[in-house]
Chain A
Amino acid sequence: MRSTKLVLLALVLCLTLSSSALAKVNITFWHAMGAELGEATEYLTQKFNEIQDEIEVEAIYQGRYSDLNTKLVASFSAGTSPTIAQVYENWTDAYYRYGVIAALEDYMDLTEEEYNDYIEVFRHMNTWDGKLYTIPFNKSNWVLYYNKELIPEPPKTLEEFFQISKEVSEKTNGETKGFGIRPTLELFHAFLWLNGGDFFDDDLNVTFNSPEGKIALQQMIGMLEDGSALLVDGYEDGAFGDRMIAMYIGSSAGVTYAENSVGGKFEFSTAPLPAGIRPGAPFMGTNIAMFDAASEEEKAAAAKFVKWLTNAENTVYFAIKTGYLPVTYSGLASQEYQDFLEANPHKAAIANLEAFEYGYWQPKIAAWEECRGIIYEMVTKVFLGEDIDLSLAEGQMLVEEAIEDMLSQRY
């Protein structure tokens, strides 16, 4: 009798335990963050798993961003997509067109206050169809890194910027060039934007084959020709740390690389990009998307996790650990983050509040991956000495073809 009771008790215990284990919703989060970034992500995920017992999140490293995209695309065809993943805006647009993502906002129960707390620029970058389809996660902005030994006051305007670049090169007899140039799409975009141009207008007409585009390329080439800039191979932080260049434009997320390369040899700081016809602050980085293949239960769980991940405390933790930005106004304004900026004055430009007013970003269209390849090639050709007008015209033609392909639903 006694033993039967015991067996029954054990059975009941087993059942309740297993049912509570079953009730746990498992979600997967694919990301592309190795090393310290990965650790910060892993830490937050573990913490979330510990503070509640309804949801279990598994964060899975899937290589670099390009690998992650490949794997996501493969997973859509095979029906094995994760619940959520890090995505760039142009991927989101492609996934949106495939019809494989679900709008996170629909599941997050955001109050108006919470919605407005996400920084406006990031909301723009994450909105499709009037909704926050994705939620900003690791966002960075591009800033001007400068050597404080050689440049006590950073340039405020493009004119000052050219002037200072020239002066530094002359003062050091060319040992240190004023500015480091890589023929990247991002740098071309910066010069294009500061001169009042952009890649496309609102109707996706190509606008970089324009006087602004020409001026941008001429300015970049001009700096190399008059010796005020150095053509840099690879990431600029190495050349910066070795005093080969006194300024470069780079991601705020790269500040630790700059610290490492400089290695305490001189003081450096960051500043907003110098203003041309208009000011500009390029914003980059990825967001979190949720996939439609997940069950309603999983979607609700994932939305809870994303909301928690971007609350003031966690977005600040992530920002301090990695050099990315807090994604909410409350995070930016938090005492902890402000103290951090005060203790690290060389990082102040990263979270320059004004910059959020004139932020710009790369086109969030599915064809962007292809277009950016074309534009990058165009800029490289100009650097190799091809005619600017011809290159711009050729670039426009190829980009228009890619856009047409996209609009005719071949994506």
Chain B
Amino acid sequence: MARTGMLPENQMWQYRVRKLIKRFLLYAVLIGGALVMITPFVWMITSSLKAPHEISLKYIKWLPEAPQWRNYKVAWDAAPFAMYFKNSFFIAFVVMIIEVVFSSLAAYAFAKMNFFGKNVLFVLFLGTMMIPGEVMLIPNYITMVNFGWIDTYYALIIPWTVSVFSIFLLRQFFMSIPHELFEAAILDGCGKFKYLIMVMLPLSKPALVTVMLFKFIGSWNSFLWVLIMTNTPTMRTIPVGLTYFVSDVGTQYNYLMAASTFAMAPILILFLLLQKQFIQGVARTGLKG
């Protein structure tokens, strides 16, 4: 204000208009992006309240004539969802915790320590990411059968506790933390493990949160693995429940959307909670950097 106050009247006016246009464009792009992101969710939620004949129409009908709240009840009763929720939560949570421990340890070794064959090993690790999961499904199934893990939480948790992608992501992040910090800490008598716990991990909060979020969502959405490795409803998770509404001759979209809404709600809440953490983490590392 002070600076623009010095400008002649017409220039100030021009400046204001330009600023306004920039603002306008920025908001237009942001609103456009937000709409693109939010539309499918809005459609999902409104469709979850529609009667079946209101869904697949020539002209999109956004709001149902009379909200069919019973869709939620019917969808909830169509499969043992309470049990599926319990399993999904338990499995996703345990997998996420164990995975973040393993990944940070492995990433720490790859990022900060020197040992024989480190780079070769790392490349081999990355190489496993190139193999599509479908190729490994049947061999993995046979392995699980031989371990006697079919229809147990072991099969649903243990194979997923190591993720090359997470190790890669954390390693890259750890490497960006100045090595001088490591040397200084060691000189001050800090052990390597203590350094990881006291310095590296707190500094890597955004990366850790990202890895955990990815893992949780990945585990939450996992479908084929769960279906193949289990036989009893008591061991299954939410995505298996969602297939109840899909058949080879048609889909019950209203129930599917209702089920999708309640299946997605916990993830959304988790994301909103972690988003705060995420921003805090970024802010903290920003200060140190």
Contact = CB atoms under 8 A, between A and B. Distances in A.
Contacts of B247: 33-35, 37, 64, 253
A254 B53 contact: no
Interface string B11-54: 00000000000000000000000000000000000000001111
A251 interface: yes
Nearest to A75: B141
Nearest to A76: B138
A140 B249 contact: yes
Nearest to B240: A63
Interface in B237-263: 240, 243-252, 255
B7 interface: no
B53 A262 contact: yes
A136 interface: no
B197 interface: no
Given A38-B244, A73-B138, A263-B51, A63 B227 contact: yes
A376 interface: no
Contacts of B58: 239, 242, 244
Contacts of A65: 248
B56 interface: yes
B55 interface: yes
A234 interface: yes
Given A63-B240, A238-B55, A257 B249 contact: yes
B228 A71 contact: yes
Contacts of A237: 56, 250
A235 B250 contact: yes
Contact of B56 (A35, A242, A256): A242
A77 interface: yes
A238 B142 contact: no
A385 interface: no
**Of A35, A77, A254, most B-chain CB atoms within 10 Å:** A35
A80 interface: yes
Contacts, number: 103
Contacts of A251: 248-249
A74 B56 contact: no
B78 interface: yes
Given A34-B79, A77-B142, A254 B245 contact: no
B176 interface: no
Interface residue tally of chain A, by bracket? 35 or more
Contacts of A79: 145
A280 interface: no
A250 interface: yes
B137 interface: yes
A261 interface: yes
Interface string B137-154: 110011001100010000
B231 A34 contact: no
Nearest to A244: B58
Interface string A227-247: 000000011011101101000
Interface string A333-359: 000000000000000000000000000
Given A238-B55, A263-B52, A34 B246 contact: yes
A70 interface: yes
B57 interface: yes
A79 B150 CA distance: 12
B141 A74 contact: yes
B53 A74 contact: no
Given A241-B53, A263-B53, A35 B252 contact: yes
B283 interface: no
Contacts of B54: 263
Contacts of A70: 137, 224, 228
A391 to B, nearest CB: 26
A262 B252 CA distance: 13
A34 B244 contact: yes
Nearest to A260: B52
A51 interface: no
A77 B52 CA distance: 42
A67 interface: yes
Given A64-B246, A64-B248, A78 B141 contact: yes
B249 A253 contact: yes
Contacts of A75: 141
B138 A74 contact: yes
A261 B141 contact: no
Contact of A67 (B51, B150, B224, B255): B224
Given A78-B141, A241-B53, A263-B52, A67 B250 contact: no
Given A70-B224, A235-B250, 17 more contacts: A38-B244, A61-B233, A73-B138, A74-B138, A74-B141, A77-B138, A77-B141, A77-B142, A78-B141, A80-B145, A239-B56, A241-B56, A242-B56, A251-B249, A257-B249, A260-B252, A263-B52
11 contacts: A35-B255, A60-B231, A63-B223, A64-B243, A67-B228, A71-B227, A74-B228, A256-B250, A260-B52, A260-B53, A261-B52
Closest 10 CB pairs of A and B: A238-B56, A263-B53, A34-B244, A257-B250, A260-B52, A254-B249, A78-B145, A74-B141, A251-B249, A78-B142
Interface of A: 28, 33-35, 37-38, 60-65, 67, 70-71, 73-75, 77-80, 140, 234-235, 237-239, 241-242, 244, 250-251, 253-254, 256-257, 260-263, 265
